[in-house]
Amino acid sequence: MRVFAGPRIGTRLGCHNFRGSRREFLFLGTVREAWPRREHLYNIVFTGPNVGNRTIKSCAGNKSEQPLRGRCYETGSDFALAAELYDARARTDEMFWLLDPAALYERPAPERHRLIFYLGHLEAFDWNQICRGALETTAFHSMFDKLFEFGIDPEPGQSPADRPSDWPRVEEVARYNAEVRRRVDESLARAPAQIVQVALEHRLMHAETFAYLMHELPYERKLRRAAHAVRQDSGPPPEARMVDIAEGEATLGQDPAAFGWDNEFARHRMRVPSFRMARYKVTNGEYLRFVMEGAAAPHFWVRQGEQWFYRGMFGLRPLPLDWPVYVTHEEAAAYAAWRAKSLPSEEQFHRAAYGSPDGGERAYPWGGAAPGPRRGNFNFRRWDPEPVTAHPAGESAFGIAQLAGNGWEWTSTRFGPFPGFEPFPFYPGYSANFFASPHFVLKGGSPRTARRLLRRSFRNWFRPCYPYVYATFRLVENG
């Protein structure tokens, strides 16, 4: 029996090659102590025929006197998906551990729920989709199922008015979460793979959007700041250069045989006329000239005396001139107009990112290799951006830099359905609820975007005035 303990379950498992004359299985189990400071995750690889729910009373590496309860999976697709879910849980748990517990009842962004909502929402979503929805399991806490079911996206100027006292105590939410995880773990092997992937990617999306909210908290509300020192790698902005993109076709949408969200379907091709695109994302240094001409400063900038600073996740630093500027869509469009240029459309982004001069298309800007640290600033690698010239190994076939990671990229495309769109029957409002009001498509990914969300069909979207997103942009010249 081999035992591995720790929060990065998926990463650890990736280091092992399971071979032998007998079949091997993975035990995914948890031992939980009082939230928010302790949760131990264990995965145990062993040989034997027992696939199903098990309790292991003692094993090497288990420092708790509590038995390990969890489920055994044969190493295969079920095993990989379960391991990814456990890894995503550890990722979101870690973010809550970074907070002063008192901060959970604060509302860092006026347009969103208090943070306590997100503590319960991730587990409630898993429960509502996997157990209550797909498997029709009887509810054990219907009030929390409903309370934590959906987030909010109010119209501008219509912020929620709830008070901290309207929300349950942390201990109540923690008990609900623990019971949800126990029941979900017992049910995973029976759940449709599509629903498990929905739960997994939903959690990974929130690992990013929760970072946006966490960014808005005062620094003293974030714990372990010393472990996340403010990076100082920056220099002058690179010389701006436009790259010619020849006319060609772009494939938008997901393969019908692969997993994707409803707005990623149906796959279709579009003819894209020739255009020119900036090799680099617009930098803080370039945008600073716009501000000096009278434009408002971006949300992540702070001025102290005569000097501008970047407001990073864990501290201020002098404005890094070669980092991408994070702005709203309104600010990006205004800057583009000031430069007599435009924002790229969704199909132009696809052509520049995944197309090639010979007419072929790629899975990622750099080719077919899986996303890795050489290719860009993504998959929770950093909390803040890095220079726009970093990671030349991630450039597209046209030589465009950082089309994946280091900041989502605004497009000029209004978020709407592709031809042949059909809403998920189990989650009909995921995309359709946002088609009527103005939201714009973003592509690429940020430092806090999970690698599985870097697929070329994935579409992000936000309101044009929403300031908290790790979103940047680049310029194009049409015709």
Of 72-81, 268-277, 389-398, 439-448, minimum mean pLDDT range: 72-81
Residue 82's pLDDT band, with cuts at 50, 70 and 90, is confident
State the CATH number of the domain containing residue 119.
Answer: 1.20.120
Question: Is residue 416 in some structural domain?
Answer: yes
Q: Which residue has the higher pLDDT, 267 or 52?
A: 267
Q: Is residue 310 domain-shared with residue 409, that is, in the same domain?
A: yes
Question: Is residue 92 in some structural domain?
Answer: no
Mean pLDDT to the nearest integer, 251-271: 97
User: How many domains in the chain?
Assistant: 3
User: What percentage of the chain reaches a pLDDT higher than 90?
Assistant: 74
Q: Is the pLDDT of residue 11 over 70?
A: no
Residue 387's pLDDT band, with cuts at 50, 70 and 90, is very high
Q: Is residue 221 domain-shared with residue 268, that is, in the same domain?
A: no
Q: Is residue 150 domain-shared with residue 38, that is, in the same domain?
A: no
- 388: its two tokens: 């726009």
Q: Is residue 130 domain-shared with residue 27, that is, in the same domain?
A: no
Q: Is the pLDDT of residue 257 over 80?
A: yes
Of 27-36, 78-87, 172-181, minimum mean pLDDT range: 27-36
Residue 230's pLDDT band, with cuts at 50, 70 and 90, is low
Question: Is residue 160 in some structural domain?
Answer: yes
pLDDT of residue 228: 59
pLDDT of residue 433: 95
User: What percentage of the chain reaches a pLDDT higher than 70?
Assistant: 81
Question: Is residue 87 in some structural domain?
Answer: no
Question: Is residue 83 in some structural domain?
Answer: no
Domain end (from 50, 78, 106): 78
Q: What is the pTM of this model?
A: 0.86
- The per-residue pLDDT for range 102-129, each reduced to its tens digit, is 999 999 999 899 999 999 999 999 999 9
Q: Is residue 132 domain-shared with residue 255, that is, in the same domain?
A: no
Q: Is residue 295 domain-shared with residue 238, that is, in the same domain?
A: yes
Question: Is residue 376 in some structural domain?
Answer: yes
Q: Is residue 220 domain-shared with residue 331, that is, in the same domain?
A: no
Q: Is residue 451 domain-shared with residue 461, that is, in the same domain?
A: yes
Question: Is residue 263 in some structural domain?
Answer: yes
Q: Which residue has the higher pLDDT, 229 or 406?
A: 406
Question: Is residue 85 in some structural domain?
Answer: no
Q: Is the pLDDT of residue 56 over 50?
A: no
- The per-residue pLDDT for range 160-201, each reduced to its tens digit, is 889 999 999 999 999 999 999 999 999 998 999 999 999 999
Q: Is the pLDDT of residue 63 over 80?
A: no
Q: Which domain holds residue 43?
A: 1-78
Residue 81's pLDDT band, with cuts at 50, 70 and 90, is confident
Q: Is residue 72 domain-shared with residue 126, that is, in the same domain?
A: no
Q: Is residue 213 domain-shared with residue 104, that is, in the same domain?
A: yes
- The per-residue pLDDT for range 428-452, each reduced to its tens digit, is 999 999 999 899 999 999 999 999 9
State the CATH number of the domain containing residue 452.
Answer: 3.90.1580.10
Q: Is residue 217 domain-shared with residue 235, that is, in the same domain?
A: no
Q: Is the pLDDT of residue 311 over 90?
A: yes
Residue 229's pLDDT band, with cuts at 50, 70 and 90, is low
Q: Is residue 406 domain-shared with residue 385, that is, in the same domain?
A: yes
Q: Which residue has the higher pLDDT, 55 or 7?
A: 55
Q: Is the pLDDT of residue 25 over 90?
A: no
